[in-house]
Copies of this chain bind each other. A is one copy, B any other.
Amino acid sequence: MKKNNSVPTMKDVAAEAGVALGTVSKVVNGLPVGDSYRIRVEDAIKKLNYQVNSYAQGLKADKTHTIALLIPNTVQPFYASLVYHINLSLLKRKYRMLLCSTDYDTSLEQEYITMAQQNKVDGIIGLTYNPNLIIEESTPFVAIDRSMGPKIPCVASDNFAGGQLAAEKLADLGCKNVAFLRTGSSLTNEPNKRKAGFENGCLSRSLKYEMKILNDGEPFEEFEKFLMEHIYNGKLSFDGIFCVTDSLAFSIIQILQKLGQKIPEDVQIIGFDGVRHFGNKNYVCSTIVQPVSEMAEMCVELLLQENMPTRPPLVCLPVTYAYGGTTSETAGALT
């Protein structure tokens, strides 16, 4: 579909206003121009409904006002939330977002990075899984949840503190024997620190704990097996479980219900992420909430910072605990 050939350009405005091209440019960019000229130009702009062609602009300035976001998908709630907030942060600054869904495909990740650079984006924000991505130095990059070397800033929530908080919460809520359940990438990334934080929290509270960590490829049923092995006379020996994500917690809750365990009476569950049903309803479970909006702002900030005095290699943002029905706070004390 060929565009109508009547999109006005600066030249048209100049002709309409009876001034030179450069003058129009100056008016558009807010540079000093004689008042009488300014008014003539502004009138002409309004009359022709002129709008600058930001691509031609970019060609000159070698800036596209576009940043690329690489993310596995937009359907899993945590990713969806990131996309939403990063989009808002960018639009607020008049930046466009080039969305690239990678589907965890490491070669697709590399392909999109190349494509993004070919499209001359001003920067890239990436939540990626390819351990050896090649990123041209010329394009600013900010990573989410996985450090990619000292020269590339990484933004994450404070996963260690989150794990610790989960342990402390369970202790506060009266648990005596807890478990940590984890699945996911074995790649070293920030979320992996949830485990260490949890252990740390358990130790500091002298809370007895056990861990079940599924490696890549191990079937999910291993969790069910693990839990069944800890049921004696119909009673689960754990009274608290910390799941590495809300998604896992959701599945574990279903298993526990199948096994006849009552939540939170028999066993309390805490997840991680802060996922809400349908994106805006109540929490899926009691959870450690990631500050997604702040993470988004931080990514954009770091990426667009013109003169970064010292680019921080890792920024961890504070997490909070939220009640979501799978823990037994007393009615008055829902924090």
Give bound CA distance, A88 to B112, whole Å.
12
Residues B97 and A55 in contact, CB atoms below 8 Å apart: no
Q: Does A36 contact B (CB under 8 A)?
A: no
Q: Which residues of B contact A277 (CB under 8 A)?
A: 250
B-facing residues in A50-101 (Cβ within 8 Å): 51-56, 58-59, 62, 64, 73-77, 80-81, 83-84, 87-88, 91, 96-101
Per-position 1/0 for A104-128, Cβ under 8 A of B: 0000000000100111101100000
**Given that A1-B305, A52-B118, A138-B6 are known contacts, is A278 also in contact with B77, CB under 8 Å in the complex?**
yes
Give bound CA distance, A105 to B246, whole Å.
30
Q: Which residues of B contact A4 (CB under 8 A)?
A: 137-138
Copies in the complex: 2
Residues B53 and A279 in contact, CB atoms below 8 Å apart: no
Residues A51 and B1 in contact, CB atoms below 8 Å apart: no
B-facing residues in A277-331 (Cβ within 8 Å): 277-281, 305-306, 308
**Given that A3-B138, A101-B87, A140-B1 are known contacts, is A278 also in contact with B250, CB under 8 Å in the complex?**
yes
Chain B: which residue is nearest A121 at the CB level?
Answer: B96
Per-position 1/0 for A132-149, Cβ under 8 A of B: 000001111000000000
Q: Does A48 contact B (CB under 8 A)?
A: no
Per-position 1/0 for A226-262, Cβ under 8 A of B: 0000000000000000000011001100000000000
Give bound CA distance, A306 to B1, whole Å.
5
Q: Does A24 contact B (CB under 8 A)?
A: no
Chain B: which residue is nearest A251 at the CB level?
Answer: B281
Give bound CA distance, A1 to B139, whole Å.
9
Q: Does A275 contact B (CB under 8 A)?
A: yes
Q: Does A7 contact B (CB under 8 A)?
A: yes
Residues A279 and B73 in contact, CB atoms below 8 Å apart: yes
Residues B281 and A250 in contact, CB atoms below 8 Å apart: yes
Give bound CA distance, A80 to B88, whole Å.
15
Q: Which residues of B contact A251 (CB under 8 A)?
A: 281
Q: Which residues of B contact A83 (CB under 8 A)?
A: 74, 83, 99
**Which one, B1, B81, B98, B138, contacts A7 given CB within 8 A?**
B138
Give bound CA distance, A83 to B80, whole Å.
10
Residues B64 and A75 in contact, CB atoms below 8 Å apart: no
**Given that A98-B97, A101-B88 are known contacts, is A119 also in contact with B54, CB under 8 Å in the complex?**
yes
**Given that A75-B84, A99-B97 are known contacts, is A55 also in contact with B64, CB under 8 Å in the complex?**
yes
**Which one, B52, B75, B118, B137, contacts A280 given CB within 8 A?**
B75
Residues A77 and B279 in contact, CB atoms below 8 Å apart: yes
Residues B80 and A74 in contact, CB atoms below 8 Å apart: yes
Question: Distance in Å from the Cβ of A111 to the closest Cβ of chain B?
Answer: 10
| 9 extra interface residue pairs, beta carbon distance < 8 Å, beyond A4-B138, A53-B120, A99-B99 | A4-B137, A53-B118, A54-B119, A55-B59, A74-B87, A84-B101, A96-B98, A250-B277, A251-B281
